[in-house]
């Protein structure tokens, strides 16, 4: 037990051990009904959910994603620390390898969590969740520095008045930065993002969402 504690509270595992204690405490409170599972965490613009979405971890509640990330990173760090516990490793070399292990643990946590995000999305988003198609035809506000064919996020207000941060893309080369207003005109269910175009462009009869027609 003493050896386990030495590893768990040594660098770099200690960084994740303290976070894991917080995670376990949170889920104990959820289990006993003291706090509720924040199912709307993904709808908070500019918060943890927005950051996680940028890392490809958006979908389930942020508390679930962070719990998975921390737990996996802790396990990888713990296993790596045990492997580094060799008689010949000490001093500067051990410090360097421990730092590398910290990066590996974070990368491993991100990779495993990302693999689980899509299945978890279907678990936490039931039929009662607002249909993504309900956003089509609504105006959203861009929250990222740009919107391109493979990047972009925006905030949109749902019919029930709640707001959500969604993934958006545009096929044209129109400049859309943070604060720009865009019209949602389609939803890609396979890749789970919305096609948008600048609000100003919707009044142009010669404008085509997927590019100008060839004449």
131 contacts 160 by C-beta, under 8 angstroms: no
pLDDT tens string 17-26: 999 999 999 8
- Looking at the chain, the whole-number percentage of residues with pLDDT higher than 70 is 79
Question: Domains in the chain, start-ordered, CATH in brackets?
Answer: 2-124 (no CATH), 133-203 (2.40.50.140)
Alpha-carbon gap, residue 90 to 79, rounded angstroms: 18
Query: What is the average per-residue pLDDT within 29-52?
Result: 60
pTM of the model: 0.55
Decide if pLDDT at 39 tops 60: no
Decide if pLDDT at 6 tops 90: no
Q: What is the pLDDT of residue 134?
A: 81
Other Cβ atoms less than 10 A from the Cβ of 210: the count is: 11
Decide if pLDDT at 175 tops 90: no
Instruction: Measure Cα distances from 176 to 139, 153, 173 in Å.
Output: 13, 11, 9
pLDDT tens string 72-112: 999 999 999 988 887 777 778 888 999 999 999 999 999 99
Q: What is the average pLDDT value for the chain, to the nearest integer? A: 80
Alpha-carbon gap, residue 57 to 69, rounded angstroms: 10
């Amino acid at each position: 037990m003493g050896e386990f504690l030495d590893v768990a509270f040594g660098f770099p595992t200690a960084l994740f051990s303290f976070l894991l204690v917080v995670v376990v405490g949170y889920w104990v409170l959820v289990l006993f009904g003291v706090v509720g599972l924040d199912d709307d965490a993904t709808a908070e613009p500019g918060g943890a959910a927005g950051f996680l979405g940028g890392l490809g971890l958006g979908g389930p509640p942020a508390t679930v994603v962070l719990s998975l990330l921390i737990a996996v990173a802790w396990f990888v760090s713990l296993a790596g620390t045990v492997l580094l516990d060799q008689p010949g490793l000490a001093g500067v070399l051990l410090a360097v390898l421990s730092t590398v292990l910290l990066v590996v643990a974070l990368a491993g946590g991100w990779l495993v969590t990302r693999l689980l995000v899509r299945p978890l999305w279907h678990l936490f988003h039931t039929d009662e969740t607002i249909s993504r198609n309900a956003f089509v035809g609504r105006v959203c506000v861009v929250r990222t520095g740009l919107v391109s064919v493979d990047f972009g996020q925006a905030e949109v207000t749902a019919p029930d008045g709640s707001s959500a941060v969604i993934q958006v893309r545009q096929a044209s080369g129109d400049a859309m930065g943070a604060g720009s207003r865009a019209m949602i005109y389609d939803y890609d269910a396979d890749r789970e993002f919305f096609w948008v175009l600048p609000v100003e462009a919707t009044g142009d009869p010669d404008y085509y969402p997927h590019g100008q027609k060839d004449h």
